[in-house]
Each structure stands twice: as structure tokens, then as C-alpha cells.
Amino acid sequence: MLSVRKTFIAGNWKMNLSRAESVKLTQALTAAFSADSAVEVAICPPSVYLDAVAAIVRGTSIGLSAQNMYHEASGAFTGEISAAMLTDIGCQYVILGHSERRHILGETNSTVNQKVQAAIKGNLTPIVCLGETLEEREAGSTGTVIEQQFDGSLAGLTSEQVAQIVIAYEPVWAIGTGKVATPDQAEEVHADLRRLLESRYNSSVASNVRIQYGGSVKAENAAALLTQPNIDGALVGGASLQAESFLGIISAAA
């Protein structure tokens, strides 16, 4: 079956880089990335640098993503940022439910779900992250954990809404550890996610929603992962902080 899913590579900078470094990296990426690429690319700078980065990517084919947002539209929510604020400064995407937010900052499937709903309502494409810990994998509960995160994070969405999201499978044990999932390990979970999309929604949603893999993706291991039938892109952490390594992953995807 011919896939309609455009490969999507996103660079999650997390809480790294200065303003000057963010600008320099963005300039290097826009200079090297060609508009007619077969790959969709987005970068996800820290929120305080989104505006500076937006000014550089505007009019290029590099997309802009936030790393988080709050589900309320406005009001007394000190420190939080709304979907409307993100679209206002030029974001098209927002990462939601990243494992660091789930495990370090206390986000639950229910709070992730509120954010996913608000992001879609606010015309942002949510990159919804899920993934098991090492303990869960070793206990043989990867499938159950993924299913619970999937159902909880997407609760209440219509098929039309789910068709607009991107899913990122990020096994927690592979994030920032250098211990990448093997292509077979990743493909197994991606295929399960594809089956969940089909059973909970429909075959059109299942064949259109892109599922990125994240966790120690590098230029050297990207091609083996991205040639798996159900791996449609990558959510890259450490290797997205330097132009050369991030561009290497984009080349491997193309």
C-alpha cells in the first residue's frame, strides 16, 4: 500500500541553548534546508526564544513548535502560555505529554488530554508523546501502558480531530541515554499504535496519522528506523542541538 504519510522530523531543543545559539542554529538550518524537501521539518525551541526563532523561519519551509502549553484560553494562570499565544507568534505545532513533563512535572493522561483538545481547537497540531519506562518494559506491560496513554490522552476526540494529530512514541529508557530502540522494537509499538488508530477510529485515520519515533535518534541510526513501515518520522532531542547532526537526520529521512 502506498503511504500518504509525509516523513516528519522535529527537533526538540528542550531547556537548552542561549538566545544567540538559538538564532545561529535556526539560521544554519534555514540556509541548508531546501523548500522542496520530501521531508517535513519543525524545530521546538524553549518558549522564551520562540519569537526570535519565528522571525527567522517565517517564509521558509521549517515549521515552528512549542514544547508545551496550557489548556485554558486566557486568565489568571501565572507562568502559563495559551494556544492562541502560540499561533499568534507563528507556531504551527505543540509537543504535548512529553515524558519529561509526565514524569518530572506531574502531567497525567487527563491533563495531556485537556491540552490536546485545546491545541486542536486553537489550530495547532499537537505532537502527542507516549512511551513506557524501562521498568514497565521489563514487566512486559509496554502494550498496556501505551494503550492507556493513547486512550487517556485522546479521550473525547472525534476521528476528524485525531486525523490532525501527530503521535510520538518515545520509550523513556531510550531518551537521552544513547540507548536507541532497535528498529524492530520501535516498529512493534508503532504497528500496535496503528492498530489502535484503526480500532478506535477508522482505517483512514490509521493510514494518515504520522507516528514519530523518539529516543537517541542520530544521523547514524535514523535510516534504519525510518525505513520501518510504521515509523513516519523522528522527534529528536540531543542531536537536534547542532545543525550538522540534525541535517544529517533530515538527509537520512529523505
The residues of the shown chain that bind ligand 13P, judged by CB under 6 A, are 12, 98, 170, 175-176, 214-217, 235-239
Burial class for 75, CB neighbours closer than 10 Å (0-12, 13-18, 19+): exposed
Q: How far is the CB of 98 from ligand 13P (least distance, A)?
A: 6
Distance of CA 245 to the CA centre of its chain: 18
Of 98, 100, 107, 190, catalytic: 98
Quick check: is 170 catalytic?
Answer: yes
Pair type for strands 125-130 and 166-169: parallel
* Cβ nearer to ligand 13P, comparing 236 with 247: 236
Residue nearest ligand 13P (C-beta atom): 237
Residues whose CB falls within 8 Å of the CB of residue 87, separated by 6 or more in sequence, listed in order: 122, 123, 124
State the Cα angle at 250 between 244 and 251, rounded to 5°.
85
Of 40, 100, 136, 170, catalytic: 170
Quick check: is 80 catalytic?
Answer: no
* Cβ nearer to ligand 13P, comparing 50 with 206: 50
* Cβ nearer to ligand 13P, comparing 170 with 187: 170
Q: How far is the CB of 238 from ligand 13P (least distance, A)?
A: 3
Q: How far is the CB of 226 from ligand 13P (least distance, A)?
A: 14
d(CA 33, CA 251) in angstroms, rounded, equals: 10
Q: What type of residue sits at position 79?
A: G
Active-site residue set? 98, 170
